[in-house]
Structure 1
Amino acid sequence: MVPKVFPLDSCSSCLSGKRETFTVWMKSLLMQGNGCTVFNSNGDIVYRIDNYDDKCSSEVCLMDLHGRVLVTIVQRKVWPFKSWEIYKQVNREKPWLRVKTYSKAKFRLETNDEANWYQVETSACKSQVKILDGNGNIVAEAERKRSSSGVVLGNDVLALTVEADVDHSFIITILTVYGLINKIL
């Protein structure tokens, strides 16, 4: 059985019945900030991550266009290990997701239901990312974006394809953790 991914409580447009493509720009729109910005296929901003602190902060927030915090990602350091706990903004007491086992090229994300886990795989150049569910099915893929004329854009601009019926904010959260692990966010 394929694990179900449900939309966040505060985000009614996070789920679509069709495959969707986004542009992820690994830059903050704010000067002097770190983060990333996510655009839909119409060029509208749909998510953003702005970190006013140092790069690779221990707490990062995923926001919608209006600045409402949807998800908070907290890095826990227990020497010599690091882990990440992800909270929906409506419940800061119990983590929604946890990153348990990881390397720079692969990590396992566990939901509150231990049966649902996801895996992130990346290429050596870090510009191709696949997110797989517990059954090995690809639920999203990111790769360097190409312009309409076929020109490959910079390493910090990704085309993200999310399969139908998968929560977009969930996928952006996973990409954010990937960026934190690889120190690119």
Structure 2
Amino acid sequence: MKWIVLMMAWVVAMPLWAADLETELAAIQHRWAEIQYQLPEDQQEKAFKDLVTDVEGFVAQYPDRAEPLIWQGIVLSTYAGAKGGLGALGLVKDARQALEAALAIDESALDGSAYTSLGSLYYQVPGWPLSFGDDEQAEKYLQKALAINPDGIDPNYFFGDFLLEQGKKSRAKVYLSNALRASPRPGREIADAGRREEIAERLGKL
């Protein structure tokens, strides 16, 4: 009887635990979008630095889940972009480590976002000897992200942006247009609006 009571308590508590993770995840996603798309550029570095601290606590609270690690990678990489210069190179390496750790736990978490973020890192950071940039590796990761989430705004946007940088304009247009047609993400309105502006800017180059 005691065993049954304990099992029932675990079943009842489990959704609350999951809800806590989802609530914290949504808060970090929302704050990231505010910083990335609504804050003046001269305020972004400090704000991302503060968010790095918040997401470190999130990872520590859920060490066996991929979602916090994915967002640690995303926050670190955008913090690196805001910081710029040689000081950003250590941050992008930390971002890669977090994303690889997420893949080791669950490759499909958040619709394959670890692959999307890793792919974007590999084509945007410098190559050897400064950093680990590698276009072949970028394409591999971005295609894996698309295999998991073929209609998503982010995998289509980043693969389109990658192709645009490669000078493959006709293929880039296909993926960027797919990104523009992606369904809205509930709770991610700020991020979606900002991403659509970036997509429109890339399409304007074509």
Query: Could you tell me the TM-score, scaled by structure 2's length?
Result: 0.27
Higher relative contact order (CA 8 A, sep 6+): 1
Query: Could you tell me the TM-score, scaled by structure 1's length?
Result: 0.29
Q: Which structure: greater strand fraction?
A: 1
Q: Which structure: greater helix fraction?
A: 2
